[in-house]
């Protein structure tokens, strides 16, 4: 079998599996389950690099494989998955399609550029990089659940415009040229607790508008083929 198989990439694959399952749940209208999968996928991605660095005898090929597999999974987990969620939440039409496409393209550019930088860096130094170039793509796992809380206090149409603006701004920050210091372990714990709190609120208090809308659309589609 081609590839490298050890514990250093397990969390990356688990992150991907959470996202794939989350996509299926979003399509079926189970938004709350889907948003939990997004948060869990982000948590796995946050930890996979730390787990990989515990293996001291990795070859250069092992390291490069880890970089590539991480970015390939990130395309689905934090590029495609969030846009599917936003589409189901109401980012539709011509403008919505353009912004969703822009976000996806920006996420791919960011990940490809990361691969180039990280590959060159590992040729000259070991250990983790202390800075991000541009906004890390995993930030969407914090931003999207946080933005969703606005749906509790603003009209549905206004919420859709906010989602659209969020995708455009976040996508732009993916490819913006600035340095952002990576969070410390203590800061990562705080971020994890904040996301857990937000997800808990969504699980406890979000209604079933998404499920009802999706089921209604699925019924209309089924009627067309009867």
Please say whether the beta carbons of 132 and 66 come within 8 A: no
Per-residue pLDDT tens digits for 159-181: 999 999 999 999 999 999 988 88
Please say whether the beta carbons of 122 and 63 come within 8 A: yes
For residue 210, what pLDDT band results from cuts at 50, 70 and 90?
Answer: low
Given a cut of 80, is residue 78 above it in pLDDT?
yes
Please say whether the beta carbons of 104 and 46 come within 8 A: no
Given a cut of 50, is residue 75 above it in pLDDT?
yes
Given a cut of 60, is residue 215 above it in pLDDT?
no
Please say whether the beta carbons of 159 and 90 come within 8 A: yes
Give the pLDDT of residue 139: 93
Q: What is the fold of 7-224? A: 1.20.120
Task: Give the DSSP per-residue string, 194-214.
Answer: HHHHHHHHHHHH--SHHHHHH
**Distance set, CA 122 to CA 66, 119, 145, 165 (Å):** 12, 5, 34, 36
Please say whether the beta carbons of 100 and 91 come within 8 A: yes
Give the pLDDT of residue 128: 66
Residue (of 82, 91, 132) closest to 110 by Cα position: 132
Give the pLDDT of residue 60: 74
SS3 131: strand
Per-residue pLDDT tens digits for 107-130: 999 999 988 888 787 766 666 677
Task: Give the DSSP per-residue string, 147-213.
Answer: HHGGGGTS-HHHHHHHHHHHHHHHHHHHHS--EEEPPPHHHHHHHHHHHHHHHHHHHHH--SHHHHH
Please say whether the beta carbons of 76 and 20 come within 8 A: yes
Pairing of the two strands 131-133 and 179-181: antiparallel
Hey, where are the domains in the chain?
7-224
Q: Please state the separation of Cα 98 from the chain's center in Å.
A: 19
Please say whether the beta carbons of 61 and 73 come within 8 A: no
Give the pLDDT of residue 208: 44
């Amino acid at each position: 079998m081609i590839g490298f198989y050890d514990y250093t990439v397990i969390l990356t694959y688990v992150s991907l599996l959470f996202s794939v399952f989350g996509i299926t749940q979003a399509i079926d209208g189970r938004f709350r389950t889907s948003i939990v999968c997004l948060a869990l996928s982000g948590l796995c991605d946050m930890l996979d690099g730390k787990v990989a660095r515990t293996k001291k005898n990795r070859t250069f090929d092992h390291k490069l494989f880890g970089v590539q597999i991480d970015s390939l999974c990130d395309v689905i987990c934090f590029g495609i998955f969030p846009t599917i969620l936003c589409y189901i939440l109401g980012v539709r039409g011509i403008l919505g399609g353009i912004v969703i496409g822009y976000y996806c393209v920006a996420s791919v550019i960011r990940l490809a550029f990361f691969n180039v930088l990280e590959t060159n860096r590992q040729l000259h130094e070991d250990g983790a990089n202390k800075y991000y170039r541009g906004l890390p793509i995993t930030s969407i796992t914090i931003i999207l659940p946080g933005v969703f809380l606005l749906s509790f206090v603003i009209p549905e149409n206004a919420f859709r415009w906010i989602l659209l603006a969020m995708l455009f701004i976040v996508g732009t920050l993916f490819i913006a040229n600035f340095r952002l210091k990576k969070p410390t372990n203590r800061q990562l714990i705080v971020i994890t607790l904040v996301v857990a709190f937000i997800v808990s609120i969504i699980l406890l208090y979000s209604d079933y508008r998404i499920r009802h809308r999706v089921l209604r659309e699925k019924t209309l589609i089924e009627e067309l083929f009867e």
